[in-house]
Amino acid sequence: MKKIVISLFIFLLLTAALLSGCETEPDGTAYELTGYSWQTTLKSGAVVTLDFEGDNACLGIKSGEDAVKISGKYLAGESELVIFMPEICQNYGFNYTPRGKFLDLSYEGKTITLKKR
């Protein structure tokens, strides 16, 4: 009987530990990234925006009449953001560093700084 109680107790502890790791809310730097909308205007006049809604991210670049969007489901780690675009079979990976009201976003060695909106 004692072995059954101990086994049940261990099972409940493991179950609680596993379930506590299944949170869907981002924390730490991932929340700093996804909890806000970001924008900057480049020297060329192009406007770059980064928005999060639910489990989707959208990185937009607009210059005059031309506009490009990288939009889809995303994963955000402590310093990396990946946006999945299954319709074109492409994933885009970015490194990021939040700095208060600013966000450094890097892609292939190039970095831009966006500001919270």
Give per-10-residue mean pLDDT for the chain (117 aa).
Answer: 55 49 57 94 96 96 95 94 92 95 96 96
Task: Specify if 4 maps to a domain.
Answer: no
In-domain check, residue 46: yes
Residue range(s) defining the domain that contains residue 94: 26-116
CB 92 within 8 A of CB 12: no
CATH code of residue 100? 2.40.128.370
Q: Give the helix ranges, DSSP H, for the chain.
A: 2-20, 28-34
For the chain, the residue count is 117
What is the pLDDT, as a whole number, of residue 29? 79
Determine the longest span between alpha carbons in the chain, in angstroms.
75
